[in-house]
Amino acid sequence: MSPVFEVANLRKAFGGLAVTNDVSLAMAPGDRVALIGPNGAGKTTFVNLVTGNLSPDSGEVRLGGETVTAVNAIGRVKRGLVRSFQVTRLFQDMTPAEHVGLAILQRNGKTRKMFGNFLSMPDVMAEIDDLLGKLGLTPLMNRKVSEIAYGQQRLLELAVALALKPKVLLLDEPAAGVPQSDTGRIEQALADLPGDLAVLMIEHDMDLVFRFAKRVIVLAAGAIIFDGLPADVTRNARVREAYLGNYANASHIA
């Protein structure tokens, strides 16, 4: 199967320090990949490079075989690369329905018809109902974001991302800041993602990583030191030294 997302020899340095150091990886449709590593490993810089928020010093980013290294962030979204953030970036005075409706109109190039006008568009409303329904947000669809719980806001952010019809979804700690009582909803939403969607998740919660990922990539000092099966990552000496530490010795993982 041809890769839907590729990074080839990506490099970025700041003041002579290589923060992303010759990183290469590829993902096929349906991949579930976790990107992990210690603080300062270069995960955020890597994501900013592949999403177009930073320009690399060298290397390439490809989507569906097309080189998009020179394409800006909006252009990459239009080509199917969508990112969610560690902290929600929602508009507190807008409703879930408005957020998802705006994303649908943006995807269709009709943002001038946003807000009240989409209420008279049956196809848009049907998609809003479907997305919010799948994530359990229908009862809250007309309430302001400021009035709904943080865990539900994270689910809304996922709904907005899915409304853009991504081919590749980058999730930055999707359960960060979510109360323990709501993390089950987040995990169920992740389990219910479309089967052909390639997902790359940055995460520090190793229990979540092992429940979600079919493949784990470990980044340390800007370079990939492991790329393989979750069952093998805890046995890797370099990973244990650089990141996992005592977690690798936990009885439920060994």
Helix (H/G/I), strand (E/B), else coil: 201: strand
pLDDT tens readout for residues 6-36? 999 999 999 889 999 999 999 999 999 999 9
Helix (H/G/I), strand (E/B), else coil: 35: strand
Counts of helices then strands in the chain (DSSP H, E): 9, 10
pLDDT tens readout for residues 60-99? 999 999 999 999 999 999 999 999 865 567 889 999 999 9
Rounded to whole angstroms, how far apart are CA atoms 247 and 18?
A: 28
Kindly give the confidence (pLDDT) of every residue in the chain, 254 residues in length, as a single tens digit, with 9 standing for 90 and above. Answer: 789 999 999 999 998 899 999 999 999 999 999 999 988 889 989 999 999 999 999 999 999 999 999 999 999 999 999 998 655 678 899 999 999 998 998 888 766 655 557 777 889 999 999 999 988 999 999 999 999 998 899 899 999 999 999 999 999 888 888 888 778 888 888 999 999 999 999 988 888 899 999 999 999 999 999 999 998 988 888 888 877 664 555 544 43
Beta strands in the chain (DSSP E): 5-14, 17-27, 32-36, 58-63, 66-67, 81-84, 168-172, 198-202, 215-220, 223-228
Q: Which of 183, 221, 189, 220 is nearest to 205 (CA)?
A: 183
The domain segmentation of the chain, as residue ranges, is 5-87+167-249
Q: For the chain, how many residues are written? A: 254
Residue 57 phi, psi (nearest 5): -75, -30
Beta strands in 53-115 (DSSP E): 58-63, 66-67, 81-84
Residue 54 phi, psi (nearest 5): -135, 150
Helix (H/G/I), strand (E/B), else coil: 254: coil
What is the reported pTM?
0.88
CATH topology of domain 5-87+167-249: Rossmann fold (3.40.50)
Residue 6 phi, psi (nearest 5): -140, 145
